[in-house]
Amino acid sequence: MTRIIAVANQKGGVGKTTTVLNLGHVLANAGKRVLMIDLDPQASLTMWMGSDPYRVERSSYSLLMYPEMSLSRVLRPQNSFLALIPGSVDLAAAAIRMVQEQYPLNHLRTVLRESRFTFDFVLIDTPPGLNVLTVAALVAADEVIVPVQCNHAAMLGVRAVQDMIRRIQTGMGNPDLNLRGVLPTFFDTESAYGARVLDEIRLLIAGQVFKTVIPYDVQVADAPHLGKTVVDYAPQSSVARAYRDAADEVLAG
Ligand SMILES: Nc1ncnc2c1ncn2[C@@H]1O[C@H](COP(=O)(O)OP(=O)(O)OP(=O)(O)O)[C@@H](O)[C@H]1O
Ligand SMILES: [Mg+2]
């Protein structure tokens, strides 16, 4: 059975795209069939996968806007286990059209659930801010992972996503949407403050926080410029190990 996982947080720069990219690669390296979908007009995931979001012919935009669009027309295989549906800059226009024209927000859900492709995991990268693109991702998803930077504003993003999950469960046709977990990111092992924030997160949302903590590591930012993910570029680094541990937690259910 396919597990559709959206990675979301209204806060920007918390590691959403990095999480999709690295979890996607770790799961694919483990022999799982993985589809990554870029729903962010910034299209970092697409760029980090080596495509130019200004030149993408068919992107996730087509899936959102055209219900008859099939996955096979937008999907780009990366290797035997990993595929990407790229994002493009016109996703920003999609967001506006979807609101203006009162678009049904479940096209993505329908196309993913009715697809003849068999993926073990679909990982959806969402933009910062809780806008209509994030709603479309959450309507389509079974589970949500919320990356959270271990700093003072951490809980604000979590609360906003929790609130949105409740609304989508009750009013948008996806009652089974499940918060798979808050994933602490950018953890500074030398900061007592970071450790305090982490304790607070674990206390406030007990049972819904990954055991794994993703450490801060400059190699994460270097990797995409070398055309690699950190799990491939520096597999022995603590951050690569952490993403493998996080993937094990996801695999455990
Ligand atoms: N664990 C980490 N250690 C160091 N740098 C990181 C880490 N995780 C992500 N980064 C870097 O921080 C920046 C923001 O990360 P990323 O783009 O994944 O966040 P995001 O939540 O997707 O941002 P946005 O909200 O803009 O989409 C990137 O340059 C990324 O390479
Ligand atoms: Mg991002």
Over residues 149-177, the mean pLDDT reads: 88
Examine the pLDDT at 236 and tell me if it is beyond 90: yes
Number of domains composing the chain: 1
Compute the mean pLDDT over every residue in the chain, rounded to the nearest whole number: 92
Residue whose tokens read 């993403």: 243
**Are the beta carbons of 115 and 75 closer than 8 angstroms?**
no
Ligand 1 near 20 CB (within 6 A) = no
**Is the CB of residue 42 below 6 angstroms from any atom belonging to ligand 1?**
yes
Q: Which ligand is nearest to the CA of 149?
A: 1
Q: pLDDT tens across 114-156, in order?
A: 887 789 999 999 999 889 999 999 999 999 999 999 887 887 8
Q: Is 185 in the pocket of ligand 1 (CB under 6 A)?
A: yes
Q: Which ligand 1 atom is nearest residue 221's CA?
A: 31
Taking the CA of residue 19 as reference, the ligand 1 atom at the shortest distance is 18
**For 51-109, how does the pLDDT look when each residue is reduced to its tens digit (9 = 90+)?**
998 988 889 999 898 878 889 999 999 999 999 999 999 999 998 998 898 888 888 99
Query: Residue 214: CB within 6 Å of ligand 1?
Result: yes
Instruction: Point out the ligand 1 atom lying closest to the alpha carbon of residue 44.
Output: 17
Q: What gap in Å lies between CA 135 and CA 146, rounded to an integer? A: 14
Q: Is the shortest distance between the CB of 216 and ligand 1 below 6 Å?
A: yes
- Would you state the pLDDT for residue 156? 81
Protein residue with least CA distance to atom 15, ligand 1: 15
> Are residues 174 and 155 in contact, defined by beta-carbon separation less than 8 angstroms?
no
Distance 49 CA to ligand 1 centre (A): 15
Distance CA 23, CA 182 (A): 14
Q: Does 15 contact ligand 1 (Cβ within 6 A)?
A: yes
Give 184's strand partners: 148
Q: Whose CA is nearest to atom 11 of ligand 1?
A: 221
* Domain range for 219: 3-251
Q: Distance from the CA of 186 to the center of ligand 1, in angstroms?
A: 9
Residue 203 belongs to what H/E stretch? helix 192-204
Judge whether 139 and 133 are in contact, CB under 8 Å. no
CATH of the domain at 29: 3.40.50.300
